[in-house]
């Protein structure tokens, strides 16, 4: 077996990151303040446009937690969340003692199904439990049904928390993902399109909300010479060292998105002659996806019984990582007791879907190794 592992999604540093990190060391600003934090926030504000305000935090999960607080979620409230997502979209609902209500996916974008969403809102309202927030996710970098979801949110006056953790660089009608929600978030975890080693940001529509987020993120210290607190605080600020990595990564964001999209093109080409396998892609020309992860659907009745697990194990046998899609939250032991609305679309996606190596630093040699496994598997069917 080749001893170089091909990862699903690995960090891809280019060099300038260290220059900014060195600057933090040289000036001794290695904690929760400094020019890298200001620089990263400004870079993102310029990149995202829409007069948005960006606050740098310790993770995307922290950003979702603070976002829910800013949108007024309290213990006992209900919060709607896409079921097919990473658990970090939903965990902060429980941090706050609120109740998640899970919604199924639709087949075009694999994101919130507008029909199931409206059905859920109406049913919760009929039970006297109007949801406080809708958490909408751009799964694998593919924008959710922006206009349909916004229409429902506005009709029932429920704010959207836009989980854009996987979608920096994706856009809809030219507007960047992360700017569609009442509050948005990005993640810079090591496996995302760009990284700060670990980190994330909150995106707000006004400076007051950003300032409030950073106040909460730095232990909610009131104005006073001593430490005075009238609200619960959190230790969620990004460090100026991590922000330095982020500044370097912002310089290569566009080329890295192009490289992820090239991986997607590679899979479209690789599977074009394979019946029963489709590469997931956007069908709406207003949507531009960063294709954070390239995913396939495997239909065993069309592949002579080869299912997604067979494909996964064949790749694993050659030291190549792949992974089933996110297991829907309403099927997770920790979340299965909460309400769920939908038609089991996400169950089918989970059963048949597989994420393939998608890093921006994969080489021709890596791609040749992946091709070889796939070609061998489907020749022997
Ligand atoms: C990665 C991710 C998060 C959490 O981000 P962290 O920075 O790892 O805390 C949240 N939601 C989704 C959909 C993610 O993929």
pLDDT given for residue 1 in this prediction: 80
Contact 164 CB / ligand 1 (< 6 Å): no
**pLDDT of res. 226:** 95
Q: What is the per-residue DSSP string for 313-351?
A: HHHHTTTB--EEPPPPGGGSTTTTTS-EES-SHHHHHHH
Is residue 86 lining ligand 1, measured as CB closer than 6 Å? yes
91, 143, 144, 166, best to mutate for ligand 1 pocket (most atoms within 8 Å of CB)? 166
- Whether residue 240 contacts residue 26, with contact meaning beta carbons closer than 8 Å, is answered with no
DSSP string, 101-150: EEE-B-TTTSSB-HHHHHHHHHHHHHTT---SEEEEE-GGGPPP-HHHHH
Provide the residue-wise pLDDT of the chain in tens; the chain has 381 residues: 889 999 999 999 998 999 999 999 999 999 999 999 999 999 999 999 999 999 999 999 999 999 999 999 999 999 999 999 999 999 999 999 999 999 999 999 999 999 999 999 999 999 999 999 999 999 999 999 999 999 999 999 999 999 999 999 999 999 999 999 999 999 999 999 999 999 999 999 999 999 999 999 999 999 999 999 999 999 999 999 999 999 999 999 999 999 999 999 999 999 998 999 999 999 899 999 999 999 999 999 999 999 999 999 999 999 999 999 999 999 999 999 999 999 999 999 999 999 999 999 999 999 999 999 999 999 855
Q: Compute the distance from residue 60 Cα to the ligand 1 centre, in Å.
A: 5
88 CB within 6 A, ligand 1: yes
- E strands, the chain, are 53-57, 78-82, 99-103, 133-137, 160-163, 171-172, 175-176, 183-187, 200-204, 277-279, 287-288, 294-298, 323-324, 340-341, 353-356
Measured in Å, residue 360 CA sits from the centre of ligand 1 at 19
Give yes or no for residue 92 CB within 6 A of ligand 1: no
Dihedral (Cα; 342, 347, 349, 351), 10-degree rounding: -170
Residue 116 contacts residue 82 (beta carbons within 8 Å): no
CA dist 90 and 262 (Å) reads 31
Ligand 1 neighbourhood includes 195 CB (under 6 angstroms): no
Using CA atoms, how far apart are residues 244 and 363, in angstroms rounded to an integer? 27
Closest residue CA from atom 11 of ligand 1: 89
Please tell me the residue having the least CA distance from ligand 1 atom 6.
60
Atom of ligand 1 lying closest to residue 59 CA:
7
Distance CA 271, CA 354 (A): 13
Whether this prediction's pTM lies above 0.75 is answered by yes
> Which residues have a Cβ under 8 Å from the Cβ of 373 and sit 6 or more positions away?
314, 315, 317, 318, 320
* 111 Cβ closer than 6 Å to some ligand 1 atom: no
Looking at residue 379, its pLDDT comes to 83
CATH architecture for the domain at 254-379: Alpha-Beta Complex (3.90)
**DSSP 3-state assignment of 201?**
strand
**What is residue 282's predicted lDDT score, i.e. its pLDDT?**
95
Residue 208 Cα to chain centre, angstroms:
25
CA 191 to ligand 1: nearest atom:
1
Centre of ligand 1 to C-alpha 366, Å, is 26
Q: Which of the four CATH numbers 3.40.640.10, 3.40.50.620, 3.40.630.10, 3.50.50.60 does domain 17-252 have?
A: 3.40.640.10
Q: Mutation test of ligand 1: which of 165, 184, 201 has the most ligand atoms closer than 8 Å to its C-beta? A: 165
* Residue 320, φ and ψ in degrees, nearest 5: -120, 125
For the chain, give every domain's residue range: 17-252, 254-379
Query: For residue 53, what pLDDT is reported?
Result: 98
Separation between Cα atoms, residue 188 and residue 210, nearest integer Å = 18
pLDDT score at 291? 98
Ligand 1 atom 8 nearest Cα: 189
In the block, residue with structure tokens 């070609």? 375
CB–CB of 4/320 below 8 Å? no
Q: Hey, which residues does 356 pair with through a beta bridge?
A: 294
Cα 274 to ligand 1 centroid, rounded to whole Å: 32
pLDDT of residue 380: 57
Beta bridge partners of 105: 112
pLDDT of residue 15: 86
Residue 176 Cβ contacting ligand 1 at under 6 Å: no
| Residue 271 bridge partners (DSSP) | none
pLDDT of residue 255: 97
State yes or no: is 127 an active-site residue.
Answer: no
Report how far residue 217's alpha carbon sits from residue 17's, in angstroms, rounded to the nearest whole number.
Answer: 24
| CA 200 to ligand 1 center in whole angstroms | 8
* d(C-alpha 132, C-alpha 81), whole Å: 11
Tokens standing for 187?
Answer: 């993640």
Q: How far apart are CA 329 and CA 2, in angstroms?
A: 35
């Amino acid at each position: 077996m080749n001893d170089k592992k091909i990862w699903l999604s690995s960090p891809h540093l280019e060099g300038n990151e260290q220059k900014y990190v060195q600057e933090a060391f040289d000036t001794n600003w290695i904690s929760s303040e400094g020019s890298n934090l200001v620089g990263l926030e400004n870079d993102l504000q310029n990149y995202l446009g829409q007069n948005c305000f960006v606050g740098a935090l310790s993770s995307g999960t922290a950003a979702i937690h603070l976002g829910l607080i800013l949108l007024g979620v309290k213990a006992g409230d209900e919060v709607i969340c896409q079921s097919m997502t990473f658990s970090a979209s939903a965990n902060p609902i429980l941090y706050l003692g609120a109740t998640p209500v899970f919604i199924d996916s639709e087949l075009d974008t694999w994101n919130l199904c507008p029909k199931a969403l409206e059905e859920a809102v109406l049913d919760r309202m009929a039970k006297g439990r109007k949801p406080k927030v809708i958490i909408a996710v751009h799964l694998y970098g593919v924008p959710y049904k922006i206009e349909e979801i916004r229409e429902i949110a506005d009709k029932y006056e429920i704010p959207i928390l836009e989980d854009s953790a996987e979608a920096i660089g994706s856009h809809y009608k030219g507007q960047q993902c992360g700017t569609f929600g009442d509050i948005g978030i990005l993640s810079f975890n090591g496996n995302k399109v760009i990284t700060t080693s670990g980190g994330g940001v909150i995106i707000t529509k006004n400076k007051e909300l950003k300032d409030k987020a950073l106040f909460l993120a730095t232990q909610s210290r009131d104005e006073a010479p001593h430490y005075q607190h009238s609200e619960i605080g959190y230790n969620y600020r990004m460090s100026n060292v991590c922000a330095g990595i982020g500044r370097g990564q912002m310089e290569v964001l566009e080329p890295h998105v192009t490289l992820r999209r090239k991986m997607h093109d590679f899979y479209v080409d690789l599977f074009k002659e394979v019946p029963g396998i489709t590469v997931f892609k956007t069908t709406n020309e207003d949507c531009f996806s960063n294709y954070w992860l390239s995913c396939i659907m495997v239909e065993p009745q069309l592949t002579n019984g080869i299912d997604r697990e067979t494909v996964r194990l064949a790749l694993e046998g050659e030291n190549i990582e792949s992974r089933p899609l996110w297991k829907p939250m309403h099927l997770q032991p920790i979340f299965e007791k909460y309400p769920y609305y939908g038609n089991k679309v996400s169950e089918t996606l989970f059963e048949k879907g597989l994420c393939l190596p998608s890093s921006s630093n994969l080489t021709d040699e890596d791609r040749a190794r992946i091709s070889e496994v796939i070609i061998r598997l489907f020749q022997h069917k």
